[in-house]
């Protein structure tokens, strides 16, 4: 959270300074957008430099790392060396790497006998389904609980939800997944086996489209639940603190003086204002969630990018790891950019001009 | 005699008095006390483990129990797939998890503080450049970066430690830079500079002692995160497979049939231990933070 605050504060400052005239504001937004997009591009370039450093410079012999655990003849090794250009100077390799990345050629996975790009493309859907559904549930649950705890902070509900949030934060995601897996999938004691143990679909499910949707949702329940339990607590904390920040404001006193019920004061006046910083912070976190789902996907063999990363890790298949690293980084950068832009649209001080 | 020692005594009390006030405030926080008790207990357990656990208890070949047997009087938490006592493994695992957590945190603090101090003290272009680098690292995905680093550096505690430090120094750097700026704005730093103190002296004698408490507080919270990262990376198979730690226990439980066999006695204890230790560090850190930063109360 500390990493996120300055951005929010900065955005808030921009929003206030932008509230000055229609034309000025529009050109202001243009330059704001331009500077944010430029920053995102620079950030992505730096990510590529770091990725290149990790995967191409740090291994003393990338070819040996690539072929570890696989029988390869000296002739194949020499061919691979030439193909990867290990003998060329570093900057030539970097330019080559940039060119390949921007033409979406992320390398070849010898483990899967497929290009990294095609592997990633086929795994993005399941990951988006898992992270998307769990994020949606977490946001609704987190905001609902955060508003209620913050509105009456110090109450029993508040103390309970703070305690639960703190405990859930301390739980390793993969372990929670394992426990839920044993409890609800393998079946334990009086609990029968309720949900499938892994994967996204079962073989031989009939019933047309509806049957398949039901089958996927049955597989989705446990991994989604695990992610929600780990993630929603953070949203509770964010929403709670921004509601508490609003509590002392005079406009709430005005609303009460008008004779509104407590519920209406909360729903119609406090929540919309408190939502503003929360939504931004939530978007800043979503980008990281895609990469954070690695352990959950591993535990439930969910066929997404995280499980792909785990399988790449076991070999280790460095080209595939590099590809997923770039995708995970890009998702964070895109979401951060989106959060910056969203803030400008959500803030009524900017819109109303 | 008394006349000579008097100035020394006058100089000492503010700090001892502050410490005494701090301890008095800490004792009044039940959550902080609970956290501290947990930490002391686990550190004692980790240090004392070699006294009652022999290498034979941990040896896969010399294990005497049945494979994945549920708890009995002799094995209070059952056995693992090799027939070793889960209870003894969990106790032994404390050592690896605490050690890596603390060492990784120390590395994080050194790197983060150095960058934060330099950025805060020198300002200008150096500060802006360093903060840009920090921002770029913040935007990197934490777990994938750590996985990539550990995969390239090879299995084992060293690469896990480096991977954790590489992903967590940014928070410390920002914190230390902000605090350095706050301290340097105070008049006594100007006074020191007027008296001819150089950069090194200002940073080491005036800034660092004032930033230190904050660094220590944030380190307790960093240890909590570091232990979580360590168990996650070890679970994913990046640890030393022969070493017993909470992460490697869960890795083996996952890979060798404890999950499908429903062996809850093997899965629960390492995870519960992780949660308790991480909570212990978090509660302690938060209590200290709340005392040092009155706005948080």
Expressed in angstroms, the distance from the first to the final Cα of chain B is 45
Q: Per-residue pLDDT for A224 more than 90?
A: yes
Subunit contact B144:A309, Cβ cutoff 8 A: yes
pLDDT score, position A136: 92
CB-defined contacts A:B, below 8 A: 139
The pLDDT confidence band at residue B173, using thresholds 50, 70 and 90, is very high
| HSE-CB of B143 using CA atoms within 13 angstroms | 28
The answer to whether A316 faces chain B, any CB pair under 8 Å, is: yes
User: What residues does A73 pair with on adjacent strands?
Assistant: none
**Span A119-130, pLDDT tens digits:** 999 999 999 999
**Span B220-275, pLDDT tens digits:** 889 999 999 999 999 998 888 788 899 998 998 888 877 777 778 888 899 999 99
Please, are residues A241 and A180 in contact by the beta-carbon 8 Å criterion?
no
Subunit contact B175:A58, Cβ cutoff 8 A: no
Distance of residue A148 Cα from the nearest chain B Cα, in angstroms: 20
pLDDT score, position A170: 86
pLDDT score, position A23: 54
Rounded alpha-carbon distances, angstroms, from residue A118 to A105, A306, B128, B216, B237: 10, 15, 40, 47, 26
Distance of residue A137 Cα from the nearest chain B Cα, in angstroms: 22
Q: Per-residue pLDDT for A5 more than 50?
A: no
Question: Among B177, B169, B235, which Cα is nearest to A174's?
Answer: B235
Rg (CA), chain A: 24
Report all structural domains of chain A as residue ranges with CATH numbers, in order of start. Answer: 120-351 (1.10.3720.10)
Subunit contact A54:B149, Cβ cutoff 8 A: yes
Subunit contact A309:B147, Cβ cutoff 8 A: yes
Q: What is the mean pLDDT of residues B188-201?
A: 87
The dihedrals phi and psi of B79, each to the nearest 5 degrees, come to -125, 165
pLDDT score, position B38: 92
Pair of tokens at residue A135: 């994020």
pLDDT score, position A140: 92
Provide the 8-state DSSP code for A140: H
Subunit contact A58:B152, Cβ cutoff 8 A: yes
**Span A23-59, pLDDT tens digits:** 555 667 788 888 889 989 998 999 999 988 888 777 7
- pLDDT mean across residues, chain B: 84
Distance of residue B17 Cα from the nearest chain A Cα, in angstroms: 31
Q: What is the mean pLDDT of residues A313-329?
A: 87
Pair of tokens at residue B183: 């301290």
Subunit contact B139:A329, Cβ cutoff 8 A: yes
Please, are residues B280 and B212 in contact by the beta-carbon 8 Å criterion?
no
Q: Per-residue pLDDT for B50 more than 90?
A: no
pLDDT score, position B267: 86
pLDDT score, position B229: 92
pLDDT score, position A209: 78
Find the closest chain A residue to B137 by CA distance.
A47
pLDDT score, position A12: 41
**Span A227-277, pLDDT tens digits:** 999 888 888 888 888 888 888 888 888 888 888 888 888 888 888 888 887
Subunit contact B268:A179, Cβ cutoff 8 A: yes
Report chain B residues whose CB lies below 8 A from the CB of A309: 144, 147
- Give the pTM: 0.84
Residue A236 CA to residue A139 CA, distance in Å, equals 9
Find the closest chain B residue to A332 by CA distance.
B139
Q: What is the mean pLDDT of residues B175-197?
A: 88
Report chain B residues whose CB lies below 8 A from the CB of A48: none
pLDDT score, position A10: 41
Give the contacts of A45 (CB within 8 A, at least 6 positions apart).
none
**Where does B163-279 show beta strands of DSSP type E?**
none
Report all structural domains of chain B as residue ranges with CATH numbers, in order of start. Answer: 93-296 (1.10.3720.10)
Q: Per-residue pLDDT for A327 more than 50?
A: yes
- Tell me the three state secondary structure of residue B68: coil
- B218-233 burial code (b ≥16 CB/10 A, e <16): bbbbbbbbbbbbbbbb
Angle between helices B264-292 and B246-255 in degrees, nearest 10:
150
Find the closest chain B residue to A53 by CA distance.
B149
Using CB atoms and an 8 Å cut-off, which of residues 225-264 of chain A contact chain B?
none
Instruction: Specify the residue for token string 């928070």.
Output: B171
Report chain A residues whose CB lies below 8 A from the CB of B270: 175
- Tell me the three state secondary structure of residue B29: coil
Q: Per-residue pLDDT for B65 more than 80?
A: no
pLDDT score, position A349: 65
* Chosen from B151, B177, B218, B268 to mutate, greatest number of chain A CBs within 10 A: B151
Subunit contact A325:B144, Cβ cutoff 8 A: yes
Report chain B residues whose CB lies below 8 A from the CB of A288: 141-142
**Span B2-41, pLDDT tens digits:** 444 444 455 556 778 878 888 888 888 888 899 999 999 9
- Tell me the three state secondary structure of residue B65: coil
Residue B94 CA to residue A49 CA, distance in Å, equals 37
Find the closest chain B residue to A178 by CA distance.
B259
Find the closest chain A residue to B279 by CA distance.
A170
Find the closest chain B residue to A41 by CA distance.
B136
Q: Per-residue pLDDT for A21 more than 50?
A: no
Q: How many C-beta atoms lie closer than 10 Å to residue A247's C-beta?
A: 12
**Where does B25-73 show beta strands of DSSP type E?**
none
**Where does A268-308 show beta strands of DSSP type E?**
none
ipTM for the complex?
0.84
Report chain B residues whose CB lies below 8 A from the CB of A166: 279, 282-283
Distance of residue A220 Cα from the nearest chain B Cα, in angstroms: 19
The dihedrals phi and psi of A309, each to the nearest 5 degrees, come to -60, -45
pLDDT score, position B130: 92
The pLDDT confidence band at residue A189, using thresholds 50, 70 and 90, is low
Q: Per-residue pLDDT for B60 more than 80?
A: no
Find the closest chain A residue to B228 by CA distance.
A172
Q: Per-residue pLDDT for B278 more than 90?
A: yes
């Amino acid at each position: 959270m500390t990493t996120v605050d300055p951005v929010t504060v900065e955005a808030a400052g921009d929003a206030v300074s932008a509230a000055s005239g229609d034309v000025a504001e529009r050109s202001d937004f243009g330059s704001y957008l331009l500077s944010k997009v430029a920053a995102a591009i620079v950030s992505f370039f730096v990510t590529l430099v770091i990725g290149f450093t990790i995967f191409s410079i740090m291994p003393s012999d990338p070819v040996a790392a690539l072929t570890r655990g696989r029988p390869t003849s000296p002739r194949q090794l020499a061919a691979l060396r030439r193909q990867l250009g290990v003998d060329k100077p570093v900057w030539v390799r970097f330019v080559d790497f940039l060119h390949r990345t921007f033409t979406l050629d992320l390398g070849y996975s010898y483990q899967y006998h497929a290009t990294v790009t095609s592997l990633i493309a086929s795994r993005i859907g399941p990951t988006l389904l898992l992270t998307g559904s769990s994020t949606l549930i977490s946001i609704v649950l987190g905001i609902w609980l955060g508003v209620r705890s913050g509105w009456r902070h110090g109450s029993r509900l508040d103390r309970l939800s703070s305690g639960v949030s703190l405990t859930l934060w301390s739980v390793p995601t993969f372990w929670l997944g394992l426990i839920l897996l044993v409890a609800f999938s393998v079946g334990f004691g009086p609990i029968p086996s309720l949900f499938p143990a892994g994967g996204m679909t079962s073989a031989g499910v009939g019933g047309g489209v509806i049957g398949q949707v039901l089958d996927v949702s049955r597989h989705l329940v446990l991994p989604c639940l695990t992610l929600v339990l780990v993630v929603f607590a953070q949203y509770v904390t964010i929403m709670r603190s921004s509601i508490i920040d609003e509590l002392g404001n005079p406009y709430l006193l005005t609303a009460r003086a008008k004779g509104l019920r407590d519920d209406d004061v909360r729903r119609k006046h406090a929540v919309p204002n408190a939502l503003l910083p929360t939504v931004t912070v939530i978007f800043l976190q979503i980008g990281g969630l895609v990469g954070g789902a690695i352990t959950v996907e591993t535990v439930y063999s969910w066929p997404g990018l995280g499980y792909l990363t785990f399988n790449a890790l076991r070999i280790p298949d460095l080209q595939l790891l590099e590809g997923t690293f770039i995708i995970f980084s890009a998702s964070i950068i895109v979401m951060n950019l989106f959060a910056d832009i969203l803030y400008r649209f959500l803030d009524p001080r900017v819109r109303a001009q | 005699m008394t006349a000579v020692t008097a100035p020394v005594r006058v100089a000492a009390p503010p700090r001892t008095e502050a410490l005494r006030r701090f301890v008095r405030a800490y004792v009044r926080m039940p959550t902080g006390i609970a956290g501290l008790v947990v930490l002391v207990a686990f550190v004692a357990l980790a240090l004392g483990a070699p006294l009652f656990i022999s290498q034979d208890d941990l040896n896969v070949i010399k294990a005497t129990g049945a494979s994945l047997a549920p708890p009995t009087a002799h094995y209070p938490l059952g056995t693992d797939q090799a027939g070793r006592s889960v209870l003894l493994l969990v106790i032994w695992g404390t050592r690896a998890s605490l050690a890596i957590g603390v060492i990784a945190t120390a590395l994080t603090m050194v790197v983060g503080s150095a960058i934060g101090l330099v950025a805060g003290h020198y300002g200008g272009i150096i500060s802006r450049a360093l903060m840009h680098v920090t921002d770029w690292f913040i935007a990197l995905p934490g777990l994938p970066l750590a996985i990539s680093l550990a995969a390239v550096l090879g299995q084992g505690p060293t690469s896990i430690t480096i991977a954790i430090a590489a992903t967590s120094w940014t928070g410390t750097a920002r914190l230390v830079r902000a605090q350095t700026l706050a301290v340097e704005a105070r008049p006594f730093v100007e006074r020191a500079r007027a008296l001819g103190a150089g950069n090194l002296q200002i940073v080491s004698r005036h800034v660092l002692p004032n930033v230190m408490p904050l660094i220590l507080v944030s380190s307790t919270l960093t240890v909590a995160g570091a232990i979580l990262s360590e168990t996650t990376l070890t679970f994913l198979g990046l640890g030393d497979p022969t070493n017993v730690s909470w992460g490697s226990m869960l890795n083996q439980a996952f890979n060798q049939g404890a999950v499908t066999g429903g062996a809850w006695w093997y899965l629960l204890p390492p995870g519960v231990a992780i949660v308790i230790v991480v909570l212990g560090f978090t509660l302690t850190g938060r209590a200290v933070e709340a005392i040092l930063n009155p706005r948080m109360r």
